[in-house]
Amino acid sequence: SWSDEREVVSTFKIDGSSCSLIYENGELVMAKTRGDGKTGENITKKIFFLSSVSKNIDHLGKIEVRGEVYCDDMNFLKLSEKMDSMGLDKPTNKRNIVAGLLGRKENIELCEFLSFQAFELYQEEISLKSEKEKFILLQDLGFLTPDFFINKSRQDFLNRLEESRKFMSEGDYLIDGLVFSFNDLSLHQSLGETAHHPRYKIAFKFQGDTKETILNEIIWQVSRNGILTPVAVVEPVELSGAMVGRVTLHNYGVVKQNNLKVGDKIEIVRSGEVIPKFLSVVEESKQEYNVPSCCPSCHEAVREEEIRLICDNPNCPDKIKDEILNFIQKIGIDDLSSKRLEDMLRLKLVTDIPSLYNLEKEQLLSMDKVKDKLAEKILKSIEKSKNVDLVTFLSSLGISGGAYNKCEKIVLNGHNTIEKILDLKPSELELIDSFAEKSSNDFLTSLQSKKETITKLVSYGFKLKAVVAQVKETGISGKKFCITGTLSTKRSELQQMVKNSGGIVQSSVTKETDYLLTNDKESTSSKFKKAQTLNIAIISEEKFFKLLEN
């Protein structure tokens, strides 16, 4: 195979517009489209409106950062409403509006609704050995990056393909596949490039098949977070060799923005998605636009929150079912299918997640088609699920923004017991990669709402061990480090040394930081200046290694 059993890094392939950012001595001096790969259009004034693009970075010399400009679901709805209020034509889809806004000569302030993720950087003086190091450096410089994963086996690749298919249907911005590249950057140099593409990188793009059809009905389903998700029932059409009768509409914002209603002729696409998705309205029907004012499951009133309709009833049947099913699948309880869970809920054998652990054999035998052997097997699987690691446990609870890789980052940053995690403060979470102010607050609010469930599960005998590298007691145990500037050791290696020795790595300097690690004696960087202002110890690698010895 192409990978030949070498480590490969994979990221989602964002479907937007390519952009290069040029920085000189930490200041953004130019932004340009990639164009033909050599020349591109100057879009500096427009890029200054993007809040996700750092105008100043902690880096001397000249550096080029490449990435993708895109529009997520929430900003697409806000942009649509803004353009409509200005008397401009509403945008029809997220892909076209990005190129459209970057190419405009007027109303360039509308670019504030666009976002940027970085995936490449160029500077001769930077000595990096792996793709992983490169992404960590980009994050340290303040850029959003795609989530990256190290793939070592065929199963890893298959898992990533499945995740990308799911994101195409459920994610909050457009992707059209995956990008794979060798983790070892020395291979990038030795393999080189052809006239058309690099040999060290390959893009896997799902081929899209589109058709027009008629929207017959919009069904609203309730997720474990109480979000009402719309699905369109359409006149069946053949797409990519399969007959399609249902299409995801993604969220309430899509329905609202496109004024979707029964009878509309719509264009749909099926690329890699499990369920095909809506693209655009071809022809509007004369029927009335209608969205639910109450939950289709519990009939309680729903509220509108930007691009979502939300049911706040904690006892909503569909909400409870989806929450329990998500837990069963993530925690790994075999033989409990969605159908069996529905039967359990109907018979009131199960009412919430903890009630799974109170099930008795006689109760299971009261269910249709459940005999003695199967009942024993289910109970054994439930009992076995208690011996689970902390990261898997957290990611199974359905916490807002609590995907496995996010929970893993929390645990690896020293919050390695359930007690420490329940005591987390927003300011602590914001120091961890991928957690901004809003995502930190959302995560912790959702976490606290599940505290009773967590407490019950722990009392039922959950082990919750943190599966991380063995940590030894050293002179830096519990100390907080920020790493920046000139270094002779790879940044990722220093970060791992800190974690393995019981220390905590921070992405920025705060009053809680114990040490700023850099070989620079003087620097104009914001981290260096802030450390001086707060009287935080600035130490070299040599002093750092002495601390480790102690």
Q: 465: closest CA among 416, 501, 422, 423?
A: 416
Report the SS3 class of residue 226: coil
Which tokens hold the place of 460? Answer: 């039922």
Catalytic sites, residue numbers: 13
Q: Distance between CA 538 and CA 532 in Å, rounded?
A: 8
Residue 423 to residue 403: CA distance in whole angstroms:
19
Give me the numbers of helices (H) and strands (E) for the chain, helices first please.
20, 19
CA gap 145, 53 in Å, rounded? 11
124: which DSSP letter?
T
Count CB neighbours of 446 within 10 A: 16
Alpha-carbon distance of 272 to 542, in angstroms, equals: 51
CA distances to 37, 399, 451 from 444, rounded to whole Å, are: 43, 8, 10
For residue 443, what are the contacts with CB-CB under 8 A and spacing of at least 6?
399, 400, 401, 402, 406, 429, 435
How, if at all, do strands 242-248 and 265-270 pair?
unpaired
- Radius of gyration for the chain, computed over Cα atoms and rounded to the nearest angstrom: 26
Burial of 392 (0-12, 13-18, 19+ CB in 10 A): middle
Tokens encoding 399: 């916490």
Residue of 405, 440, 439, 407 lying closest to 160 (CA atoms):
405
Gap between the Cα atoms of 359 and 428, Å rounded: 38
β pairing state of 302-305 and 17-24 = unpaired
